[in-house]
Amino acid sequence: MTTLRTDYLPQLAAAFADAERRQQISERALQIAGMTIRLRIAGAALAEATLLALAHLVTDDGTAPPDITLHLWDGAATDIWPPRPPFTPEDYRRYGQRAVAHDGVRSLMHAPASGQLFAYDRASRQGYFWVEDAGQLSIYERAAPVQTLFHWALQEFGWQIVHAAAVGNESGGVLLIGSTGAGKSTTALSCLAQAGLHLLSDDKCLVRLDPKPEAFALFSSAKIKGDMLPRLPHFRPLLAGWDDNYKAEKGLVFLHPTYAEHMVTSFPVKALLLPKVTHRAQAAIRLAAAGDVFRQLGPSTVIWLPGAEAENYRFTAEMARRLPCYRIELASDPQANVDAIRGLLEELG
């Protein structure tokens, strides 16, 4: 693996300073799990692409010193490119032509195919993101903006990004785990229209295991499959982008502030659920083996966070070991599924 030069991140800081002189900076303070993260963004298109999914975290208190600062800039808007990353051609042969390096303090990832670069320095708690053209960011990147930076920055505080939907209330909730078509998003998003539970996340959330298992809503976005829209027609007016070329057709929806009253920012995690579409009259919940849950959760999380496979597998394996695991056979009626999950939460206390 490439060894990071100690002078590379200072060079990135200098490049961002040049971008700052070219474009007015958009600054926002985010409150994430008790920490203040300051975003400094050069380029209006990048600011819009980043902030919509994070709108629920924005705080008006700009006086508190940030715990973490992330600097983002758009090459197309500023005409400022980062210094050449210190990678060799061999470094790009893994992770879908992305090169990744860590040295224990600094982390770097370059994705030339999508024109993106991420860097983070744990000593200074400063992060950098450059995109060649913010207008070309996909709905997946807009739904979970700069998730790699958030992952690197928040690991220090015990938080990991996990690929799961999450529903519950302030006293406790569950993570819904599964691949496309398992029913996790449909079940989670139905909580915005059904009584009994609130939505924390549609697709990815922050989780920590100590001092107790807890989830936090990092992104206020959802990706709606085309075949879900007839069942969830209230999302049509909120569609903010569409992708009909990758996997199943999906549309992007930003949930804040429209559904703020139906959402929860954090809760203790009480259980992990593997959903399955069965079209039953009533939902059924049964115990599942921790290994079955891990085999779904581990790989689907790691694929989004290249370069840290071992620690992510350890984390998700520990989640499955520590938390009760269940399967839920989903009913055709969304309210029946919500009622079944609420009943499980009442049993678990």
User: Which residues are registered as beta bridge partners of 271?
Assistant: 174
For residue range 194-253, what is the model confidence (pLDDT) as tens digits?
A: 888 999 999 899 999 999 999 999 999 998 887 777 777 778 888 887 776 544 578 899
Ramachandran region, residue 118 (left: φ > 0; alpha: ψ -120 to 50; beta: rest) = beta
CA distance 326 to 289: 8
**In the chain, what's the furthest Cα-to-Cα distance?**
62
Strand 25-32 with 204-208, pairing: unpaired
pLDDT for 349 equals: 85
pLDDT (tens digit per residue) in 51-73 = 999 999 999 866 778 999 999 99
pLDDT of residue 260: 95
pLDDT for 246:
46
Q: Could you report how far apart the first and last alpha carbons of the chain are, in Å? A: 47
More confident residue, 96 or 9: 9
Give the C-alpha separation, 69 to 86, whole Å. 23
The C-alpha atoms of residue 16 and residue 115 are separated, in whole angstroms, by 16
- What pLDDT shows up at residue 163? 92
Q: In this predicted model, what pLDDT tens digit does every residue of 75-122 receive, in sequence order? A: 999 999 999 999 999 999 877 789 999 888 999 999 999 999 999 999
pLDDT band for position 335 (cuts 50, 70, 90): very high
pLDDT at 181 exceeding the cut of 80? no
What is the mean pLDDT of the segment spanning 280-292?
94
Tens-place pLDDT, residues 135-179: 999 999 999 999 999 999 999 999 999 999 999 999 999 999 987
Under 8 Å between Cβ of 319 and 264: no
